[in-house]
Amino acid sequence: MAEPAYRELILGKYRIIYRFKSNLVEILTILHAARLLDPKRLR
């Protein structure tokens, strides 16, 4: 991922994309790890 504000976590067969916002964690998307990430899903 090119955006430094986003983070990812691989958990089993899933990829969790998230970011920190103020004092909380915002989950942006959860995908199967075999799928390609479409950046449009992160907006």
pTM attached to this predicted model:
0.70
Q: Each residue's pLDDT tens digit in the chain (43 positions)?
A: 555 688 999 999 999 999 988 888 999 989 898 888 777 777 6
Torsion sign, CA atoms 22, 27, 29, 34:
positive
- Rounded CA gap, 7 and 5, in Å? 7
Please report the pLDDT score of residue 38 as a whole number.
79
In Å, how far are 10, 28, 34, 35 from 20, measured between CA atoms?
17, 10, 25, 24
The full set of domain ranges for the chain reads 6-42
- The DSSP bridge pattern shows strands 6-11 and 14-21 to be antiparallel
- The tally of CA atoms less than 13 A away on the side-chain side of residue 24 is 3
